[in-house]
Structure 1
Amino acid sequence: MKSKIWLGRIIPLVLIVLGEVCLYTFLFKWLTSSFVFVEVFLHILSILIVLNIVRTSRHLSSDLMWIILIMLFPVFGTFVYVLMLLSLLFGKTFRNIIIEQKKAASYYVQDEAIIDEIRMENPDYVSHLAFLQKEGFPFYRNTDFKYYAPCEAGFETMLEELSKAEKYIFMEYFIIEEGIMFNSILSILEDKVKQGVEVRVMYDDMGSLGTLPASYAKQLEKKGIKAVSFNRVSPIINTIMNHRDHRKILVIDGKVAFSGGANLADEYINKKVKYGHWMDNIICIKGKAVWSYLVMFLTNWNALRHEDFDYSVFKCSDSVD
């Protein structure tokens, strides 16, 4: 099964990569005749780029790779950086995510009384508070939180909450692999679809490259489950390929959310030994804070599907204020 998955995905990629290599070889030969002028231009541009990265970087540790690459190899590093930047700016997926994030910002409403309360009761958290506020995520009251580790400790709770779904189930995961864990979930999803519950599944195409066939989203659609693979794998060199969807989010009726480190594959619940005994976690959130998980899911979903114009219709009406 896995060999068929890999062959079905890899053969088309290899053909496109070969075509891309031929294109870059042609461009390199064409630029060789004007290389001196190109080299001077890229040296100047490399200095400006490094200065701009230092000035604007929000996470300098993650941008340090680019700084080192450009400083050590000004011509090559600058060329690659500009190529990647252009592909990122003009990438459809990335543009859509930015657009949806701007729309979603209006749904993250902070009650300032909660901020004042945190400052008074937990003065040691002020720096954390400032950081999270800057990122735009609100703080909430009336939220219950449970931590399960290892993952199998929380898996049964996840199945129980899924079986209670009445309106919708939204799932967003980096890795999905058929097996005991996901098949148990899928069985519930299929039953819920028959009961009229809206089910949406989003998974990362790169994360599930060797675990799901390229057509798996269509297979789920045939079952009545809305499905998309995030940022389909493409062999064409661009930075959006490095922007993967590593989220692990499950939202049920706006009342319950699951997150944590667990993907939907058997090694996470130690039903399959892959790297020894797997130690990870599942967290369960109930109450007001579920809203942020819901908005995060809808943001990525609508960057790809463009079908929800008012997120508030999914808000849990009986949540406690």
Structure 2
Amino acid sequence: MGRLKQIITGKLMFVTIAIILQIILVVFMLLRVSEIIYVSYFLSFLSYVMVIYIVNHGGNSSFKLAWSVLILAFPLIGGFLYLLFGGRQVPKKLRLESVKSLNETKRLVIQDKKVLENFYDKSDLSIQKIFNYGENVGVFPIFQNSNVTYLSLGEIKWDRMLEELSKAKHFIFLEYFIIKEGVMWQSILDILKQKVKEGVDVKIIYDDFGAASTLSKDYDIELKKYGIEALRFNKLRPALLVQMNNRDHRKICVIDNNVAFCGGINIGD
């Protein structure tokens, strides 16, 4: 019952209802103005132009097909809806901020040329191209003397994660799509609190949508009270913005630049 109450009264429910109401309002207004013959012609023309643009524009075929069918099925509102929700163009301000952040990262992530040369000497051309692309485009340098362990179950990862977190001396960085209050998260949080007292730098990023129904809306403020630097990624807003669908699905834990856990599971029972 408590879980249901949290969902009903939570931020995600409020945002969802607000967006649905906005969609209904937009559709209602479009249908009303489309009763004017010239407006109806214009909206239909806009829809056909949008379909031509979508078909000839690069991108995922399934995405293009779905939008084309929707627009042609509802020509009076389809084209306008695509303008609202279909565009994947990132706003200029956000693009500039992303480029700035990437350039700052490039200065800190430097490829050891000797390691690269040694790797190239031992690999074929196709493998070289893949890692060269990763280094130059994705800023993913190659390292040596590193080991990888596959953790097949969440319980195994949890145990190893607690073990490595307890060894942290300098910093702990966490980035997750979902963090859910429960036994798993509490055991991790207890260690994080202790590490803050020991002078370890602890930072957390979690997705505001992913944790909307699992954490309180001001949970980042609560974490800051413990000395943990916390950030909600892409905060939910009750607005018709395509960017609200850009979520952080990463599942990463980095400890002292010596150990990292990547992928697999979120943090929750």
- TM-score by structure 1 length? 0.69
- Secondary structure in structure 1 of the residue aligned to 2:147: strand
Q: Distance in 2 between matches of 1:126 and 1:87?
A: 32
Q: How does 1:278-289 map to 2 (within 5 A)?
A: none
Q: Deviations over 1:143-173 (max 9, x none)?
A: 2222222222232221122112222211101
Q: 1:68 aligns with which of 65, 70, 94?
A: 65
Whether the 8 Å CA contact 1:70–1:78 is kept in 2: the answer is no
Q: Distance in 1 between matches of 2:239 and 2:88?
A: 10
Q: Distance in 1 between matches of 2:164 and 2:25?
A: 53
Q: How does 1:159-198 map to 2 (within 5 A)?
A: 159-198=162-201
Q: Deviations over 1:209-265 (max 9, x none)?
A: 221121211221222211122112234333222221111111122222211212111
Residue 26 of structure 1: aligned partner: 29
Q: Distance in 2 between matches of 1:130 and 1:78?
A: 41
Residue 8 of structure 1: aligned partner: 10
- Secondary structure in structure 1 of the residue aligned to 2:213: coil
Q: Structure 2 regions of 5+ residues with no counterpart?
A: none
Deviation (angstroms), 1:199: 1.3
Whether the 8 Å CA contact 2:14–2:238 is kept in 1: the answer is no
Q: Structure 1 regions of 5+ residues with no counterpart?
A: 58-62, 267-321
Q: Distance in 2 between matches of 1:95 and 1:16?
A: 30
Matched, 1:139 2:136: no
Matched, 1:154 2:157: yes
Residue 41 of structure 1: aligned partner: 46
Q: Distance in 2 between matches of 1:12 and 1:250?
A: 31
- Secondary structure in structure 2 of the residue aligned to 1:232: coil
Q: Where does structure 1 differ by over 6 angstroms across 4 or more consecutive aligned residues?
A: 91-95
Residue 206 of structure 1: aligned partner: 209
Matched, 1:218 2:221: yes
Q: Distance in 1 between matches of 2:16 and 2:57?
A: 36
Identity of aligned residues (%): 31
Deviates further, 7-16 or 257-266? 7-16
Deviation (angstroms), 1:92: 6.8
Max radius of gyration: which structure? 2
Deviation (angstroms), 1:102: 4.2
Cα distance, 1:39–1:99 mapped onto 2, change above 3 Å: farther
Whether the 8 Å CA contact 1:249–1:257 is kept in 2: the answer is yes
Q: Distance in 2 between matches of 1:50 and 1:108?
A: 39
Whether the 8 Å CA contact 1:87–1:238 is kept in 2: the answer is no
Residue 273 of structure 1: aligned partner: none
Whether the 8 Å CA contact 2:192–2:202 is kept in 1: the answer is yes
Whether the 8 Å CA contact 2:47–2:78 is kept in 1: the answer is no
Q: Deviations over 1:71-105 (max 9, x none)?
A: 33354554333323668533976764454234324
Q: How does 1:219-238 map to 2 (within 5 A)?
A: 219-238=222-241
